[in-house]
Amino acid sequence: MPHPPSAVPALIVNARAEERQALREIFARAQWKWNSVASIGQARNWVERRGCPQVMICDRDLPDGSWRLLFDHTETLARAPKFIVSSRTADDYLWAEVLNLGGHDVLAAPFDEREVSRVVGSAVASWQEQWQKGRVPMHMAAPAARSQSATR
């Protein structure tokens, strides 16, 4: 049975304290569970210790690299999170890049509570549908499973 949105583990990856705080406040009002870190290295360590969250909100630019480094890493994990990129300069190019690579969405900072709720809620529903029903994206399936599905 899918977990209710209030049980959603999310990881916020953002070096700007004021943006982390704004997202924390939005998550607290929605009664969503979350953690936050300030760098890609901290996010990777967090995932190694605690497992992958359902949703990851990552700032476009971090002190130790861009969102793409963390996105590429999470895509190799057994249960990749729905990846949302945040940016003060969110534009059509970033949005297209995120979606074309398989990310979930882009959030513009400063954050609008309704937009954060909509985007995170959509990411949660998508993650739950994908993993709670046992559907694994083809790129994550074992090689034998990929070859079997290709012959069906």
pLDDT score for 80: 93
pLDDT score for 132: 76
pLDDT score for 22: 97
What tens digit of pLDDT does each residue of 104-123 get? Answer: 999 999 999 999 999 999 99
pTM for the model stands at 0.83
* Domain boundary assignment for the chain: 5-151
Candidates 3.40.50.970, 3.40.50.170, 3.40.50.2300, 3.40.980.10; CATH matching 5-151: 3.40.50.2300
CB 120 within 8 A of CB 32: yes
Instruction: Give the mean pLDDT of the chain.
Output: 86
